Amino acid sequence: QVQLQQSGPGLVKPSQTLSLTCAISGDSVSSNSASWNWIRQSPSRGLEWLGRTCYRSKWYNDYAVSVKSRITINPDTSKNQFSLQLNSVTPEDTAVYYCAREAPGLDYWGQGTLVTVSS
């Protein structure tokens, strides 16, 4: 059974960096048949896909245009996890953040982390 466990702070100050980690059990971040995604949900935006990392003989990353200049998703094979960094956050980045596996469709999700951007 695949499980995704999220960790990271729930409060970030404006202009700082949002950092979250998603630990994987029951699968591998290096799987060549899955991709590992970050999605957020807010009342104003609904579900918004932020980006993904996947391994297909080499590592690939794809990012949403809306955050492309501020986002980094990194795999960590030694800990079997992947991370999200979102720089220069504003209150508009306040949302519930989820990690999820796509294989196909987003079949396993983390528990969600409410991240509030406020001073």
Partner 1 sequence: DIVMTQSPDSLAVSLGERATINCKSSQSVLYSSNNKNYLAWYQHKPGQPPKLLIYWASTRESGVPDRFSGSGSGTDFTLTISSLQAEDVAVYYCHQYYDTPRTFGQGTKVEIK
User: b vs e for 70-106, b when ≥16 Cβ sit within 10 Å of the residue's Cβ?
Assistant: bbebebeeeeebbbbebeebeeebbbebbbbbebeeb
Is residue 70 a contact point for partner 1 (CB under 8 A)? Answer: no
Using the rule CB under 8 A, give the single segment among 8-16, 71-79, 86-94, 101-109 that binds partner 1: 101-109
Q: How far is CA 50 from the centre of its chain?
A: 7
The 71-100 contact track toward partner 1, x by CB under 8 A, reads ---------------------------x-x
Is residue 102 a contact point for partner 1 (CB under 8 A)? Answer: yes
Of 6-65, which residues contact partner 1 (CB under 8 A)? 37, 41, 46-49, 52, 62-65
